[in-house]
Amino acid sequence: MASGLRPAPQRPAQREPFVIPTGYGDHRIVLMVKDPWWLYAYWELDPSQERQVRSRVVPDEIGGMQSILRVYHVTGRRFPEESANASFDIALSGLANNWYIQVDAPGHDFVVEIGLLTTRGRFLLLARSNRVTTPRIGPSELIDETLKAHLAGSLSSAGLVSTGPRR
């Protein structure tokens, strides 16, 4: 360069660190199957909806109110139109937003509700989950006909199954 000019040094671009939000403004509970014995639930509750539910509580019920997960066993039921086969409650700590739930029931259907249990035992629903089915243990009794034919052909060609008398 004849004039000795150089481009000005460039500063590296400063990136803002990405922060994962603590919430997305939803009001829901999601239920997932972990395995035949365990479920996993996570939730986000809109504080304004929770305040609205709390406003319906009479003062003498507020004192010992507890946040709970109510787990419903709903196999063979049209829940919530029909009552559940059984249910049990899990007391939650104030900061919990997810929970592993032991059900020990392969091949069964479950729904979970999150809510408040008043001192008088009244359950105030905040959100209801989707319905899930835990997997059965062992192979399925349902076998696709195409697979059945393929397996029979493979076993026959390997000489592991007799296809009839030999000539």
Considering the domain 28-133 in this protein, what is its CATH number? 2.60.40.10
Residue 128 has pLDDT above 90, yes or no: yes
What is residue 160's predicted lDDT score, i.e. its pLDDT?
65
What is residue 150's predicted lDDT score, i.e. its pLDDT?
78
Whole-number Å distance between alpha carbons of 20 and 29: 19
Neighbours of 167 (CB within 10 A): 3
* In contact, 114 and 94? CB cutoff 8 Å: no
Whole-number Å distance between alpha carbons of 40 and 118: 25
Whole-number Å distance between alpha carbons of 43 and 65: 19
Higher model confidence: residue 115 or residue 163?
Answer: 115
Whole-number Å distance between alpha carbons of 70 and 84: 11
List pLDDT tens digits, range 42-79. 999 999 998 898 888 888 777 788 999 999 999 999 99
Whole-number Å distance between alpha carbons of 22 and 34: 23
Structural domain spans, the chain: 28-133
Residues 153-164 have a mean pLDDT of 67
Q: How big is the chain, counted in residues?
A: 167
Closest by CA to 105, choosing from 129, 75, 141, is 75
Residues 22-40 have a mean pLDDT of 95
CA 15 to chain centre: 35
Phi, psi of 102 (to 5 degrees): -85, 125
What is residue 86's predicted lDDT score, i.e. its pLDDT?
97
Residue 14 has pLDDT above 60, yes or no: yes
**Which residues neighbour 85 within 8 Å (Cβ) at sequence distance 6 or greater?**
73, 74, 75, 76, 77
Closest by CA to 92, choosing from 34, 45, 130, is 45
What is residue 140's predicted lDDT score, i.e. its pLDDT?
75
Residue 135 has pLDDT above 60, yes or no: yes
Dmax of the chain from CA atoms?
100
Q: What value does the mean pLDDT of the chain take?
A: 88
What is residue 95's predicted lDDT score, i.e. its pLDDT?
85
What is residue 165's predicted lDDT score, i.e. its pLDDT?
61
What is residue 161's predicted lDDT score, i.e. its pLDDT?
60
